[in-house]
Amino acid sequence: MRPDWDFAGFPVLGRFALDVARELADADRLPTWNPGDEFRPAREKSGVK
């Protein structure tokens, strides 16, 4: 932390994160991965549908 750091944008960033999380939580189904995505195998292995 430094006195010259400006955190004035944090409320906007927090609201954006909340809006994204709410959209995902309220969705009928989870987002899917693009074909060939490197993280897809881990998701499929986890068993989360």
Rounded to an integer, the average pLDDT of 37-45 is 87
Name the residue among 26, 31, 25, 23 with its Cα closest to residue 49. Answer: 31
Cβ contacts of residue 39 below 8 Å, gap of 6+? 33
DSSP state of 24: H
DSSP state of 7: -
pLDDT tens for each residue of 1-40? 899 999 999 999 999 999 999 999 999 988 888 888 998 8
Whether residue 13 contacts residue 6, with contact meaning beta carbons closer than 8 Å, is answered with no
- Model confidence, pTM: 0.57
